[in-house]
Amino acid sequence: MKLLIVLLVGIILYFAVSIVYKRFWHKGLNISVEFENDAVREGEDNNLIEKISNDKVLPISILQIRFALPKTFKFAEVKKSSAVTDQIYRSDYFSVLPYQKVTRSYPFKCLKRGCYQLATIDVFGMDFFISKARRMTLKTPRLMYVLPRPISGVSVPENIDKIMTAIKKEEEKKCVILLNAELNSMSRADELVEDGLRIADYFVGRCYKDEIPVQFFTNGIDMITGEECRLDAVSDTDDKASLEKTIARIDVTKVPRAFKHILAAAEKIDDGNTEFIVISNNRKTDFVKALTEFTDKGHSVKLVIPEFKDVDITPYEDDKDKIVKWVVEND
């Protein structure tokens, strides 16, 4: 008889706890997963921070947090996987006592430029008897930017310093950066696109340092808006950060419009005191024709061509004052 009573009490307790957990396990449970810095450079480190606050008397025996991150975030403790995917999946476990706060930090290295978001986080909570997991999904709208890797001073062509010094000397001069996302060929195209972005980022930083107003146009597609990227004059640190983030968001996998449309838009802002810096690996017939027509109208243009050392820049071999071959690494 006593055994039956104990068994009955156990069953009642089990179901009572299950009902309580089903209704209240997520109450007072605050969870956040965020990045310590919302913008870092390629190759730099960042920290993923998980915060849990259980503001109730009910403990959570096992709390699992699961979410996906890009594979270009290199965590030291994550083992290599043979799966073919662009993402890695984290699954972190906690045991949370009543009114307890838990914070964990996971360092990682940012390997590739881009704009990243933790779209959703799945949270699973186990009851006191560890018999059943209950789930809720959290939205995380925060973005993290990996900005282009900075270009070292030794790799900047001498012509560039002369160009920027000349622009700086003219007090009213402004600089407009025009980045062409079209490529000359498909050979190692991804590397050349990224180098073009790094060069654009260099000019933004250089203009900001030299207090030269700068604008940015490109036919590259914004991975967030799906539109062509553009940002107006940089005047302070916030503007500079916005422009750098705009460059970070360019999606090189999307096919851009012909560059002549960018030249047509840029032409409208030339007040006669504008220096256009055109960055383009593309030098096919259509591009050459469009740029020639643009310069023939009297616009002041310097053309920067990112290219490998052993590749010529036909048809722009001769004009060294207005044409700069920016040699990129051949690794």
List of domains in the chain: 28-146 (2.60.40.10), 150-328 (3.40.50)
Q: Write the pLDDT tens digit of every residue in 183-234.
A: 887 666 678 888 999 999 999 999 999 989 899 999 999 998 888 887 665 5
Looking at residue 186, its pLDDT comes to 67
Average pLDDT of span 137-155: 87
Which two tokens mark 80? 């290599």
Better-scored residue on pLDDT, 315 or 277: 277
Indicate the pTM of the whole model. 0.85
Looking at residue 322, its pLDDT comes to 86
- Reported confidence tier of residue 82, pLDDT bands at 50, 70, 90: very low
Q: Write the pLDDT tens digit of every residue in 84-119.
A: 567 888 999 999 999 999 999 999 999 999 999 888
- Cα separation, 287 vs 282, in Å, equals 7
Looking at residue 2, its pLDDT comes to 67
Highest mean pLDDT among 13-22, 38-47, 204-213 belongs to 38-47
Worst-scoring range by mean pLDDT, 3-17, 115-129, 162-176? 3-17
- Reported confidence tier of residue 171, pLDDT bands at 50, 70, 90: confident
Integer CA distances (angstroms), 172 to 252, 272, 285, 301, in order: 34, 10, 34, 17
Q: Write the pLDDT tens digit of every residue in 48-66.
A: 999 999 998 888 888 999 9
CB 222 within 8 A of CB 183: no
Instruction: State the DSSP string of 94-114.
Output: EEE-TTEEEEEEEEEEE-S-E
